[in-house]
């Protein structure tokens, strides 16, 4: 599916910002399930300095500095990507049988443990605690009843995805980007970021590797397909590793596998590794933040049509102040 993505972030400050430094993770990645065709990042006011680079995982990000006093910042990212559909074996009645195949979860836990002289496996980094997806006994306890002996890694992840979707209430503005996952687990509510980080923390607390995925959802689904929760906003889901099957992505907010309607911005340990926009500013006082995202299929567009844009659910981090 070929998709266009427009992501606009707007800050309106109570007083002028004298100087600002920002980092944007707004360029979608290219990998085996997604191809980036074009990307343009527009910034107003015009930065005094900007440069492109890569983060610790080799993913694109852009740095920019604003040396001109300003009371408003507008950052707009326009991208064109092609996403791959799920393999046929993961659709419909075949999915459960496919997910049941592969490495038993206990064997992967054993493999992820450190031993001197063992071959390098990059997935081991995603077994350990991170600030917003920690290892904790409460997460292990929540997932323990699903971790039956011999269950495959991906079958366990699919069951956990379904359980979180059933147990948690999707509640916009009930949390923010700094809400600890233990709080979300206790309250059984939150937004997509919370659903994803709780699932990651549960898997890690069992000893399994899991990554945070930052991205978007298709705003208008194909005919006869349900509209997914989190469209019109930045979205988040989970990538789970199995040696025999590779990384597979699960969306606990919508209780589904991430397919061609999911656009990947980047991967990290948790939200803190790949926020769409973060920064340090001098001045500004209080601020108002609005974020609007539109993801549309090129096949659905007609001349003169214009998709309706929605508001983000607290997916962009407020800037810190110097």
Residues spanned by CATH 3.10.620.30 within the chain? 87-212+237-271
Domain 87-212+237-271 -> CATH class: alpha beta
The pTM for the full model equals: 0.89
Residues spanned by CATH 2.60.40.2250 within the chain? 2-82+273-321
Highest mean pLDDT range out of 8-22, 85-99, 107-121? 8-22
Q: pLDDT grade, residue 230 (50/70/90)?
A: low
Q: Is 33 helix (H, G, I), strand (E, B) or coil?
A: coil
- 43-46: which pairs have CB atoms within 8 A and are 24 or more residues apart? 43/73, 43/74, 43/75, 43/76, 44/72, 44/73, 44/74, 44/75, 45/70, 45/73
Look at residue 217 in the predicted model and tell me its pLDDT. 93
Nearest residue to 244 (alpha-carbon basis) of 103, 84, 79, 90: 103
Cα angle 204-207-208, degrees, rounded to a multiple of 5? 65
- Min mean pLDDT across 78-87, 120-129, 200-209, 216-225 is at 216-225
pLDDT tens-place string over residues 278-298: 999 999 889 999 999 999 998
Look at residue 32 in the predicted model and tell me its pLDDT. 93
pLDDT tens-place string over residues 45-65: 999 999 999 999 999 999 999
- Min mean pLDDT across 28-37, 173-182, 205-214 is at 173-182
Residue 157 has pLDDT above 80, yes or no: yes
Both tokens of 178, joined, read: 């700094």
Mean of pLDDT values over 235-250: 94
Fold annotation for 2-82+273-321: Immunoglobulin-like (2.60.40)
């Amino acid at each position: 599916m070929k998709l266009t993505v427009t992501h606009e972030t707007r800050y309106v400050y109570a007083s002028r910002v004298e100087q600002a430094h920002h980092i944007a993770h707004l360029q979608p990645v290219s990998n085996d399930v997604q191809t980036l065709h074009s990307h343009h990042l527009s910034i107003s006011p015009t930065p005094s300095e900007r440069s492109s680079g890569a983060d610790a995982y080799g993913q694109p990000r852009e740095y920019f500095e604003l040396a001109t006093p300003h009371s408003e910042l507008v950052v707009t990212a326009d991208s064109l990507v092609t996403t791959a559909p799920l393999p046929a074996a993961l659709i419909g009645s075949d999915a459960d049988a496919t997910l049941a195949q592969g490495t038993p979860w206990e064997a992967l836990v054993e493999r992820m443990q450190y031993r001197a002289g063992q071959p390098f496996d990059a997935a081991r980094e995603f077994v350990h605690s991170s600030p917003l997806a920690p290892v904790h006994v409460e997460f292990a306890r929540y997932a323990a009843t699903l971790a039956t002996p011999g269950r495959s890694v991906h079958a366990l992840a699919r069951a956990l995805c379904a359980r979180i979707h059933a147990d948690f209430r999707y509640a916009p503005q009930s949390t923010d980007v700094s809400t600890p996952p233990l709080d979300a687990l206790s309250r059984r509510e939150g937004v997509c970021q919370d659903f994803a980080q709780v699932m990651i923390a549960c898997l890690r607390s069992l000893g399994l590797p899991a990554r945070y995925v930052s991205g978007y959802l298709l705003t208008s689904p194909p005919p006869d397909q349900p509209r997914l929760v989190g469209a019109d906003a930045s979205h988040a889901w989970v990538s789970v590793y199995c040696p025999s099957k590779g990384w597979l992505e699960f969306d606990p907010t919508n209780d589904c596998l991430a397919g061609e309607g999911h656009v990947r911005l980047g991967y990290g340990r948790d939200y803190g590794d790949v926020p769409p926009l973060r920064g340090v500013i001098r001045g500004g006082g209080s601020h108002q933040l609005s974020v609007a995202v539109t993801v549309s299929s090129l096949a659905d567009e007609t001349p003169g049509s214009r998709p309706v844009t929605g508001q983000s659910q607290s997916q962009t981090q407020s800037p810190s102040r110097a």
